[in-house]
Amino acid sequence: MAKPMEQNNKQTEQKLSKGREQIKKAHQTQTKPNVKQTEISSIRPPHLCPICGQMAQQNAYPFCSTRCRAIDLNRWLSGSYILPPLPQKADEEE
């Protein structure tokens, strides 16, 4: 049963390394002096999608697609993501 998990970890690592390479390439193209003025540059720096690890798209930022955006929203609404509670003041401090 460890083999599917190891395969999944390898696939995730491959996606992340591919995403890192894409970010490096994007940064390199931003620093080139020969970039045409007519090209629209992104306001936001290159970013990986937190759901699948692909490059984020401008229309769904910080996700790569509306599908990943919907997956994230579902996780929030279903309670998969939980924020830690605020620290409670002790009765002695009041």
Binding residues for Zn(2+): 49, 52, 64, 68
User: What is the Cα 44 distance to its own chain's centre?
Assistant: 13
DSSP string over 40-74: PPPSSPP-B-TTT-SBP-GGGTTSSSHHHHHHHHH
CA separation for the pair 59, 66 (Å, rounded) = 8
Element (H, E) at 5: helix 2-30
Residues comprising the binding site?
49, 52, 64, 68
